[in-house]
Structure 1
Amino acid sequence: MKSPSCVYDNYDVIENKLLPALYTITFIIGFVGNAWGLKLLLQKWQKLGNINIFVLNLGLSNVLYLFTLPFLMVYYFTGRKWIFGGVFCKMTRFCFNLNLYCSIGFLTCISVYRYLAIVHPLRMMGRLTVTRSVAISVLVWVLVSVQSIPDIFFPKTMNGTDKCFHSTSFEKADYYLKYSLVWTTTGFCIPLLIILGCYGHVAVVLCRRNTIEKTLKQKSVKFLFILILLFSVCYIPYHIFWNLSLYSRALSKQEICVWWDKRVFTGHQISRGLVCLNSALNPLVYLQMTEHIVSHIRQLPQQVRKLFRRVNVCSSNTLAVSKTEEEALEQSTIPTSGSA
């Protein structure tokens, strides 16, 4: 919500057209990818390793957020008219924050485990247990929940309107900016620095050591590429434009209209759509971290070929049986020499 003196005409156009389109794409791709990946993970539950515990929790956080997207799609498709009540509005926004920062947290855990396994394999042998992985996962959920709870106490709706604010009302913008800066530091900047430190050291070790298996090097490079994709497309633009937009609103509250406000708001709306794509891109982590899923994908063409072969064999057998029946029928209708 902007100050009346700082409103631009195309704000509603950006929100009502861009966001629902990106939400729709994310819901379709994300729901199919996460449901399929989680199904294969649960089928191999007994074989789950330490890192795969984090992958499973990553998928659960994605699914939790994806269930809220249809309500947001309705909200923006109808011109920002929230019809589901104030409590559910806060729940929807809470699930978004929970998914966002749990995703970053679990990606950080995966990076740290990969770092320890490559750089300190002997020292960490026997210490990276499933029990500890589960305990760390629970800790991530608790920390992110505690970090996100204050957001619930900021007003998300306004009396006499049917809005569901992504941040808070205009009157609380300056307070929300302070909270957001702390939130960004603890939930995004610190994990990003940890990931950069881990993979920076891993890159040095992979270049210097010739004893590391080629497959392990390839997995590390692929996972690094996924991290770069997620952070450059989803996380970094969102946090930059998110805080700049809040800062602009805080200035607007003082009746100060900055020249870059319109561009920042446009960038913020685009980044809001892109950050939700993390639920559609995170299944790439499933493919990289779980070997049985990769092998399952590789076997799909072979399974399809076998299916076609069975269909062809069945068709050939059916034609052969039909031809035999026709020949038998023709022979039964041919009169014999002793017939009248």
Structure 2
Amino acid sequence: MENMNSTLVPTPDTIDKDCQENVDQNRVLYIFYSSVVVVQFILGFLLNITVIHLFIFKLKFWKSKTIDIFLFNLVLADILLLIGLPVKAYNFQQCSEQKVVCKVQLFLQFINRGASIAFLTIISIYRYYSVVHPGRRKVRSILKRSPQISVFIWVLLGILTIPAMYQSFIRCNSSEKDKKLTAIVILREIVFFTQIFIPFFVLVYCSIRIIKRLQQKSVGDKTKLWRAMFLVTSVVFVFAFCFLPYAFTRAVQLKISGLVMKEEKVTVVKLFDGLLCLSYLNCLLDPILYCLSSSKFKKLYISMYLPFLLEKEKPESSEDTADD
């Protein structure tokens, strides 16, 4: 379980004394973490499931624009990630878990979070070429093969995530020998940090270039320009806010392993667990930033699920420039 350190993990048969002491000492904190995860699950699942319902039954995403297929896969990855949150919320409050359940949960968590980040990145790349380099037909033709790209991403992430089934961050009920830096552990950490930091730099680069391009081609519609710039900037901010603190804390956790006192390790673990909760916020914000930011999709969503707000919505002429 990613949310508890090895000091908080019991043997398969009995609850370790140190584990129980740590849980008792931090009971209030971990109940708070558990509550946050439950709230994120409820809000995120309701929002994502309604969005994906529109993609399937109203927009028929497989017949729509290329970006709609990527958006569908992004929302699907977020839903699959959210499904495991009730188990994680329960584990935040407990000191025991089944080894198989732990590893399956980690596998699903890693692959779905990786997929969410991957599709978020590919959407930014698609928008970058659509806005900044619309004349590069070869690249755009490749990006338009969205079904094939989507399948490739899921298969690749499934292969790269297999190490999570063998050794996890908390070594699901494992022995001391699993703490060594084996090839599997090193591969797992490389995949973990690569899928966060590389997409972040890609997002930053694409966003800067898109904003500069929008400023150059915008003539009179300043409101539309600022909305598009706000959307692009918000994507980078949300990604940085949700994932970078989580990744940096993980790096600190790896660096201090075996080098500091037990109390200091527990402090880092508690911080890591809190930032882990923060990272799930991405599942709630993705559909807002990528789907509801579109005027067309927003109107359809409100008419379906929030019709009482429809009369308050002012008609808009077209989608945001960044969504084209």
TM-score class, shorter = 0.7 to 0.9
1:31 aligns with: 45
1:96 aligns with: 109
Q: Which amino acid aligns with 2:283?
A: S
Question: Given the alignment of the two structures, is residue 50 of structure 1 paired with residue 60 of structure 2, yes or no?
Answer: no
Q: Which amino acid aligns with 1:133?
A: S
Alpha-carbon shift at residue 33 of structure 1 (Å): 0.4
Alpha-carbon shift at residue 241 of structure 1 (Å): 0.8
Alpha-carbon shift at residue 229 of structure 1 (Å): 3.7
Q: CA 1:306/1:202 → structure 2, altered by over 3 Å: closer, same or farther?
A: closer
In 2, the alpha carbon distance for the partners of 1:191 and 1:265 equals: 25
2:204 aligns with: 196
Deviation digits for residues 119-168 of structure 1 (CA, Å, limit 9, x no counterpart):
1112239944786111111121122212211111116888xxxxx57xx7
Which residues of 2 match residues 128-207 of structure 1 at below 5 A? 128=141, 132-154=145-167, 164=172, 171-175=177-181, 178-207=186-215
2:31 aligns with: 17
- TM-score (normalizing by structure 2): 0.76
Q: Which amino acid aligns with 2:110?
A: N
Deviation digits for residues 82-131 of structure 1 (CA, Å, limit 9, x no counterpart):
2xx42222111111111211111111001000100011112239944786
Q: CA 1:228/1:286 → structure 2, altered by over 3 Å: closer, same or farther?
A: closer
Q: Which has the higher contact order (CA 8 A, sep 6+)?
A: 1
Structure 2, unmatched stretches of 5+, are: 1-5, 9-15, 312-324
2:77 aligns with: 61
Alpha-carbon shift at residue 171 of structure 1 (Å): 4.2
In 2, the alpha carbon distance for the partners of 1:125 and 1:87 equals: 45
> Aligned match of 2:54 in 33, 40, 46?
40
In 1, the alpha carbon distance for the partners of 2:47 and 2:230 equals: 18
Alignment size in residue pairs: 292
> Aligned match of 1:109 in 105, 116, 122?
122
Identical counterparts, % of pairs:
23
CA contact (8 A) 1:14 1:266 kept: no
Alpha-carbon shift at residue 75 of structure 1 (Å): 2.6
Q: Which amino acid aligns with 1:107?
A: L
The root-mean-square deviation of aligned C-alpha atoms, in Å, is: 3.5
CA contact (8 A) 2:129 2:140 kept: no
Alpha-carbon shift at residue 225 of structure 1 (Å): 3.5
Q: CA 1:222/1:143 → structure 2, altered by over 3 Å: closer, same or farther?
A: farther
1:269 aligns with: 273
Of the structure 1 ranges 173-182 and 56-65, higher mean CA displacement relative to structure 2 is found in: 173-182
1:230 aligns with: 238
CA contact (8 A) 2:161 2:188 kept: no
* Higher Rg of the two aligned structures: 1
Structure 1, unmatched stretches of 5+, are: 159-163, 308-340
Deviation digits for residues 59-87 of structure 1 (CA, Å, limit 9, x no counterpart):
1111112222222223333x2332xx422
